[in-house]
Each structure stands twice: as structure tokens, then as C-alpha cells.
Amino acid sequence: MAERYTLTAREGARVRRRRHRELSDALDDLEREGRGLEAGAGEHAVGGTLIRRLEPVQIVVARLELSGPPGLRAGVDVRGDGSSEAFTGRLRRRVVAHRDGESAYAALRRQLT
């Protein structure tokens, strides 16, 4: 059986792709990758005088995207302050709402399974 799910990790100019047979394996890999990126996030605010000031929470330092059948498009944005936000869709992205005490990865897993 061919690998059906692709995890694409975009961090700056670097793009990495890994393929998985099962959705659960792909979600585990997405969380492992995202947690590592969260730990390394340390952006500072940019702009302010001539251009709009962007706080670290507004800066996406990495995007992890999961694609697969049938038309599955979802992922997690890792922010400059180390937080993360799950989404579904590709062109029309919709944020996945977190429940109390739920991480972005748990919210995404709940939405997809």
C-alpha cells in the first residue's frame, strides 16, 4: 500500500516532506516536529516606527501541513512566542477551536479523527 499522508514542514526557506501510511502516524510526527519547533521559537517584535509593529504571537515561524485523501488539508502554525494554532483547509483556512486544557495538536487530532 502506498503512503497516503504527506507532512510538509516549512520553516523559513527550508521545506521538508515526509510520507506516512496511517493518519495516526502522520499526526504523531506532526506533533513531534511542532513541539521541537515551539521549543526553538524565540522571535522578537519587529517594526514599529515606519511600519506596523508585529508582536511574536503574530509571526508564524513554521507551518506544518498535512495532506492526504480524500482532500485532507490541515496543519499547525507555530508562532514566534512558542505558541501554536491548528487549522483545517488550504485556501480557506479555518482555525480549530481548542477546548479547555487542549493543545493545538490534540484539537487537530480531535477534528480529524
Rounded to two decimals, what is the model's pTM?
0.84
* Residue 28 and residue 4 in contact, taking contact as beta carbons nearer than 8 Å: no
Q: In the predicted model, what is the mean pLDDT of residues 8-24?
A: 93
Q: Which residues of 10-49 are buried (b: 16+ CB within 10 A; e: fewer)?
A: beeeeeeeeebeebeebbebbbebbeebbeebebeeeeee
Helix (H, G, I), strand (E, B) or coil at 68: strand
pLDDT digits 0-9 by tens, 66-113 = 999 878 999 999 988 888 999 999 888 899 998 888 999 999 999 998
Higher pLDDT, 69 or 7: 7
The C-alpha cell at 5 is: 499522508
Which pLDDT tens digit goes with each residue over 28-51?
A: 999 999 998 888 776 666 666 777
Q: What is the mean pLDDT of residues 43-62?
A: 75
For residue 95, the cross-strand partners are: 87
Is residue 2 scored above 70 in pLDDT?
no
Question: In angstroms, rounded to a whole number, what is the distance separating the alpha carbons of residues 6 and 24?
Answer: 12
CB 61 within 8 A of CB 80: yes
Alpha-carbon span 77 to 65, nearest angstrom? 9
pLDDT of 1 above 60 = no
